[in-house]
């Protein structure tokens, strides 16, 4: 069964997935982000590593949307402030397809049904849609925070014009 | 990989002397809205008598530079190499060991290799090699040299206004190379051809014009202080004095202007006022020195010097004996590292002695200026004030060491001592994110404006990540700090990364806990919020 295969190979798949995600940042960054060690010295690497595993396990086990949202959020918030175009910011989800492929192709066997495989692709597509929603929320947050900063500044200027500062 | 060590010959044979096509030395910056600061407003550039005032933006193709801009920059480098021995040393001695490379919050958050401090410095060093070293002149790119072009200049702007001069990198450099000093000098060079940012230029112009960053006029300043006095009376029932420009006072008090117009800074101001009243300090505010901050230090040594000079000039005019400075970050870098040599020694002042405890602050015997945390910690240590810690029980606090007080002046124990003496619930963030190793807020050195928010959120990620840890573990709901820039820029950082965490200055806790003679029963804190009651959301977390 496909699910069994994926469960058995979780760490391999997650590691490959992370490698593909980190490579989107270029060589130096990828080396740094993949460094295991202190989570406070390398928050991006550590958050991605922890959450990639959580996301993948959730996806192939319960596939609960709420849980997935929570696990996605920390990753997406980081991608949302890294000067990436939206398509690249959410692209990390599609890289999961790429990370899974070798497992399925290598171990091609009759026990993996086409149906199961297509279902998995469908779940990843759903995950991508969810990611896009979260990305959009993060971008709205950024804009809201930006507007609040401006308002705060404008309030001080107004007070100054009123003569109250 | 085989365990056999390669011979030197084998190793050499693997070196590719051809500069890679994609190598870092080819700059090309795309200015994406939201990630860079806007240029200085021409009228303020002119006001400061800085060169090349004009309307332009970093995203323009044509930066309208003077025809001889290259010559100006190269001459500027030469002049600074002659003037600052440190610059020459920093240019020559880096061995590219990489110890600093992953220590910068901007690199940690973005993964952009040009945010590695060693590469940031290399952006200038490559030009230095090209024009000032024999190897560079002969070997060019092989020796790591490159020619100064418009793209290089744009890259300088992008990356040297993406350095908060926090000095975290220098802590790890075995040679003590201070990339912040390199940033300071490159910004000086950029200013020579009129390349600057408004979040720095306008506050500097305002400070010259009216005395403070926002351009608040003397009567406006006086009104704000009076307003704070009234508000403090409403909150505590105690009417305090807050003298302004009073000649003959013992102490001049200088704080960052945000304390009297910003939130949450304002609550810190209320704390100062309550404390000074309670211990009966003979002090004065000044309208001329109504700004502790010194954005001049983000433009050039000259502007830093002129703005800093106002503090001593005012101390002299008012005839005070010594000076206390408020909760500010870069103000203390300037005071601690430069003031004595650029404008001191202040022989007309006396070595600070606390009139309440008799403690002589010998470490300030040359500058004659101490930090308010030093003053307050000494009062507490000598049991000169009565404190009710439970009045801060609604806060679960962690402390962010602001880069300048922590790294530039080593003010690490005093704020912690004050917090622990005024609050019951204090939790430290992980060791490698505090004290000397503290992570920057990501918005210092003039970068703290909304137009630049995304870059700030990226740079502030390592700080926020550590706050999140204590927020989740202990239910921390307040991030304390002693820097005005932090108080302005940490709230949005928290809003994005760790919602539910507020920001406060240390003297806000002092003001809350301080038992004042003749006070009403305190039901609310300096924010007007009920005291002693943990917020419901937090009770659930415990
Ligand atoms: S001074 Fe701070 S911001 Fe600048 S390069 Fe060093 S670590 Fe980065
Ligand atoms: S730590 Fe110092 S010597 Fe090493 S690469 Fe960084 S600046 Fe150069």
- Cα B420 to Cα B445: distance, rounded to the nearest angstrom: 30
Is pLDDT above 50 for B541? no
Cβ–Cβ under 8 Å, residues B108 and B462 = yes
Q: What domains can be seen in chain A, in order of their start residue? A: 2-139 (1.10.490)
User: Strand B502-505's sheet: what is its strand order?
Assistant: B397-399, B478-481, B502-505
Residue predicted with more confidence, A105 or B289:
B289
Asked whether the CA dihedral B15, B17, B22, B24 is positive or negative, the reply is positive
Is pLDDT above 60 for B207? yes
Residue A3's pLDDT is what?
87
Is pLDDT above 60 for B282? yes
Nearest Cα residue in chain A from B498: A74
Residue B326's pLDDT is what?
97
**pLDDT (tens digit, 9 = 90+) per residue, B515-524?**
999 999 999 9
Can you name the residues that pair with B426 across neighbouring β-strands? Answer: B397
- Cα A82 to Cα A89: distance, rounded to the nearest angstrom: 8
- Cα B221 to Cα B258: distance, rounded to the nearest angstrom: 11
Confidence grade of residue A157 (pLDDT, cut at 50, 70, 90)? confident
> What letter would DSSP give residue B197?
B
Residue ranges of B 195-234 with Cβ closer than 8 A to chain A: 214-216, 220-221, 223-224, 227
Q: Which two structure tokens, joined as six digits, stand for B271?
A: 């704390």
Residue predicted with more confidence, B533 or A29:
A29
Q: Does B460 reach chain A within 8 Å, measured CB to CB? A: no
- Cα A163 to Cα B220: distance, rounded to the nearest angstrom: 6
Q: Name A135's Cβ contacts closer than 8 Å, sequence gap at least 6.
A: A76, A79, A80, A86, A89, A90
Q: Does A136 reach chain B within 8 Å, measured CB to CB? A: no
Cβ–Cβ under 8 Å, residues B195 and B157 = yes
Confidence grade of residue B320 (pLDDT, cut at 50, 70, 90)? very high
Residue predicted with more confidence, B214 or B174:
B174
Is pLDDT above 80 for B19? no
Instruction: Tell me the three-class secondary structure of B381-446, residue by residue.
Output: HCCCCCECHHHHCCCCEEECCCHHHHHHCCCCHHHHHHHHHHCCCECCCCHHHCHHHCCCCCCCCC
**pLDDT (tens digit, 9 = 90+) per residue, B54-97?**
999 999 999 999 999 999 999 999 999 999 999 999 999 999 99
Residue B12's pLDDT is what?
46
- Cα A107 to Cα B414: distance, rounded to the nearest angstrom: 63
Q: B499 vs A75, A149, B477, B536, CA distance in Å? A: 16, 16, 9, 15
Q: Does A159 reach chain B within 8 Å, measured CB to CB? A: yes
Residue B35's pLDDT is what?
83
Nearest in space to B449 (alpha carbons), one of B201, B183, B253, B147: B201
Task: Please give the distance, rounded to the nearest whole angstrom, from the Cα atom of residue B443 to the centre of ligand 1.
Answer: 11
User: B22-196 architecture in CATH?
Assistant: Orthogonal Bundle (1.10)
Is pLDDT above 70 for A17? yes
Residue nearest to atom 6 of ligand 2 (CA): B100
Q: B181 vs B90, B185, B188, B337, B378, CA distance in Å? A: 9, 6, 11, 12, 33
Instruction: Provide the b/e sequence for B500-525 (b: ≥16 CB within 10 Å).
Output: ebbbbbbbbbbbbbbebeeeeebeeb
> Per mean pLDDT, which range of A101-105, B144-148, B373-377 is the poorest?
A101-105
Nearest Cα residue in chain B from A153: B262
Q: Which residues of A touch B98 (CB under 8 A)?
A: none
**pLDDT (tens digit, 9 = 90+) per residue, A72-131?**
999 999 999 999 999 999 999 999 999 999 888 766 666 778 899 999 999 999 999 999
Q: Which of B468, B493, B496 to mutate to test the interface with A (most CBs of A within 10 A)?
A: B496
For B189, other C-beta atoms within 10 Å of its C-beta total 23
Cβ–Cβ under 8 Å, residues B506 and B483 = no
Q: Which residues of B touch A81 (CB under 8 A)?
A: 109, 454, 457-458, 461, 496
Give me the interface pTM, i.e. the ipTM.
0.95
User: Strand B251-254's sheet: what is its strand order?
Assistant: B283-284, B251-254, B322-325, B369-371
Task: Please give the distance, rounded to the nearest whole angstrom, from the Cα atom of residue B170 to the centre of ligand 2.
Answer: 8
- Cα A64 to Cα B114: distance, rounded to the nearest angstrom: 40
Q: Which two structure tokens, joined as six digits, stand for B127?
A: 């030009």
Residue B15's pLDDT is what?
43
For B21, other C-beta atoms within 10 Å of its C-beta total 6
Q: Which residues of B touch A40 (CB under 8 A)?
A: 430, 432-433, 462, 465-466, 469
Q: Ligand 2 pocket: which of B101, B114, B118, B119 to mutate (most atoms <8 Å of CB)?
A: B118
For B287-296, what is the mean pLDDT? 93
Residue nearest to atom 8 of ligand 2 (CA): B94
Task: Label the pairing between strands B502-505 and B369-371.
Answer: unpaired
Q: CB pairs below 8 Å between A and B: how many?
A: 106
Residue A159's pLDDT is what?
75
Out of B107, B260, B432, whose CB is closest to A40? B432
Cβ–Cβ under 8 Å, residues B354 and B375 = yes
Residue nearest to atom 8 of ligand 1 (CA): B104
- Cα B478 to Cα B534: distance, rounded to the nearest angstrom: 12
Nearest Cα residue in chain B from A145: B492
Nearest in space to A34 (alpha carbons), one of A22, A24, A43: A22
DSSP for A70-128, please give it. Answer: HHHHHHHHHHHTTT--HHHHHGGGHHHHHHHHHHHHHT--TTS-HHHHHHHHHHHHHHH
Residue indicated by tokens 């020619």? B147
For B363-388, what is the mean pLDDT? 97
Out of A30, A150, A156, whose CB is closest to B450? A150
Cβ–Cβ under 8 Å, residues B169 and B100 = yes
Residue nearest to atom 4 of ligand 2 (CA): B97
**pLDDT (tens digit, 9 = 90+) per residue, B232-241?**
999 999 999 9
Can you name the residues that pair with B251 across neighbouring β-strands? Answer: B283, B322
Q: Kindly report each contact of residues B130-134 with a partner whose C-beta sits within 8 Å and lies 24 or more positions away, as own/partner.
A: B131/B74, B131/B77, B132/B77, B132/B78, B132/B81, B132/B91
Q: Which of A21, A26, A28 to mutate to test the interface with B (most CBs of B within 10 A)?
A: A28
Confidence grade of residue B439 (pLDDT, cut at 50, 70, 90)? very high
Can you name the residues that pair with B373 across neighbouring β-strands? Answer: none
- Cα B151 to Cα B61: distance, rounded to the nearest angstrom: 10
Q: Which residues of A touch B433 (CB under 8 A)?
A: 40
End-to-end Cα spacing for chain B: 50
Closest ligand 2 atom to B90 CA: 7
Cα B212 to chain centroid, rounded: 16
C-beta atoms of A82 and B111 within 8 A? yes
C-beta atoms of A47 and B465 within 8 A? yes
C-beta atoms of B432 and A41 within 8 A? yes
Q: Ligand 2 pocket: which of B86, B91, B96 to mutate (most atoms <8 Å of CB)?
A: B96
Task: Please give the distance, rounded to the nearest whole angstrom, from the Cα atom of residue B164 to the centre of ligand 2.
Answer: 18
Where do the domains of chain B lie?
22-196, 205-541
- Cα B121 to Cα B180: distance, rounded to the nearest angstrom: 9
This prediction's pTM: 0.93
Q: Does B450 reach chain A within 8 Å, measured CB to CB? A: yes
Can you name the residues that pair with B353 across neighbouring β-strands? Answer: B360
Q: Which residues of B touch A41 (CB under 8 A)?
A: 102, 108, 432, 462
Q: Name B60's Cβ contacts closer than 8 Å, sequence gap at least 6.
A: none
Residue B319's pLDDT is what?
98
């Amino acid at each position: 069964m496909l699910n069994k295969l994926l469960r058995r190979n979780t760490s391999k798949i997650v590691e490959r997935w992370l490698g593909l995600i980190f490579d989107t940042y270029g060589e130096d960054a990828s080396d740094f982000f993949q460094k295991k060690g202190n989570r406070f010295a390398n928050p991006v690497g550590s958050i991605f590593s922890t959450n990639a595993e959580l996301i993948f396990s959730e996806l192939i086990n319960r596939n609960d949307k709420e849980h997935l949202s929570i696990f996605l959020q920390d990753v997406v918030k980081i991608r949302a402030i890294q000067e990436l175009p939206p398509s690249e910011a959410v692209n990390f989800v599609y890289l999961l397809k790429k990370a899974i492929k070798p497992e399925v192709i290598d171990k091609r066997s009759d026990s993996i049904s086409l149906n199961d495989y297509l279902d998995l692709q469908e779940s990843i597509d759903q995950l991508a849609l969810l990611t896009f929603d979260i990305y959009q929320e993060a971008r709205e947050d950024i804009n809201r925070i930006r507007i609040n900063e401006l308002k705060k500044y404008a309030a001080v200027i107004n007070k100054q014009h009123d003569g109250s500062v | 990989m085989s365990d056999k060590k390669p011979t030197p010959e084998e190793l050499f044979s693997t070196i590719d002397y051809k500069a890679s096509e994609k190598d870092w030395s080819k700059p090309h910056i795309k200015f994406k809205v939201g990630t860079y600061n806007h240029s200085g407003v021409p009228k303020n550039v002119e006001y400061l008598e800085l060169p090349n005032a004009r309307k332009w933006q970093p995203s323009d193709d044509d930066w309208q530079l003077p025809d001889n801009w290259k010559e100006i920059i190269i001459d500027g480098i030469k002049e600074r190499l002659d003037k600052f021995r440190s610059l020459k040393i920093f240019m020559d001695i880096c061995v590219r060991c990489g110890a600093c490379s992953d220590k910068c919050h901007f690199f940690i958050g973005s993964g952009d290799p040009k945010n590695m401090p060693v590469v940031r410095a290399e952006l200038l060093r490559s030009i230095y090699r090209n024009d000032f070293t024999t190897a560079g002149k002969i070997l060019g790119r092989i020796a790591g040299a490159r020619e100064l072009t418009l793209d290089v200049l744009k890259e300088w702007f992008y990356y040297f206004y993406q350095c908060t001069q926090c000095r975290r990198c220098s802590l790890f450099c075995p040679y003590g190379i201070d990339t912040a000093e390199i940033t300071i000098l490159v910004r000086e060079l950029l200013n020579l051809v009129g390349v600057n940012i408004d979040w720095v230029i306008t506050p500097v112009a305002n400070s010259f014009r009216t005395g403070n960053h926002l351009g608040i006029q003397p009567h406006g300043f006086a009104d704000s202080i009076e307003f704070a006095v009234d508000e403090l009376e409403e909150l505590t029932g105690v009417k305090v004095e807050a003298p302004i420009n009073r000649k003959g006072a013992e102490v001049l008090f200088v704080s960052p202007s945000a304390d009297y117009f910003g939130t949450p800074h304002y609550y810190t101001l209320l704390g100062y006022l309550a404390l000074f009243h309670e211990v009966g300090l003979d002090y004065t505010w000044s309208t001329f020195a109504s700004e502790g901050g010194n954005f001049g230090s983000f433009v050039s040594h000259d502007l830093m010097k002129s703005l800093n000079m106002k503090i001593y000039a005012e101390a002299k005019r008012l005839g005070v004996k010594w000076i206390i400075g408020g909760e500010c970050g870069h103000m203390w870098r300037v005071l601690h590292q430069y003031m004595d040599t650029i404008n001191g020694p202040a022989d007309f002042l006396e070595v600070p002695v606390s009139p309440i405890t008799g403690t002589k602050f010998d470490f300030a015997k040359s500058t004659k200026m101490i930090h308010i945390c030093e003053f307050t910690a000494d009062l507490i240590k000598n049991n000169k004030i009565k404190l009710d810690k439970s009045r801060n029980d609604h806060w679960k606090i962690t402390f962010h060491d602001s880069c300048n007080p922590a790294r530039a002046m080593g003010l690490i124990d005093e704020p912690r001592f004050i917090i622990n003496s005024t609050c019951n619930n204090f939790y430290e963030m992980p060791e490698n994110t505090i004290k000397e190793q503290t992570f920057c807020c990501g918005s210092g050195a003039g970068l703290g404006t909304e137009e630049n928010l995304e870059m700030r959120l990226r740079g502030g990620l390592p700080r926020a990540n550590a706050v999140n840890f204590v927020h989740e573990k202990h239910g921390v709901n307040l991030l304390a700090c002693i820097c005005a820039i932090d108080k302005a820029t940490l709230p949005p950082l928290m809003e994005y990364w760790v919602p539910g965490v507020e920001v406060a200055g240390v003297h806000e806790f002092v003001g809350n806990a301080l038992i004042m003679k003749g006070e009403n029963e305190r039901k609310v804190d300096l924010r007007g919020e009920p005291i002693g009651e943990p917020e419901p959301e937090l009770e659930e977390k415990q």
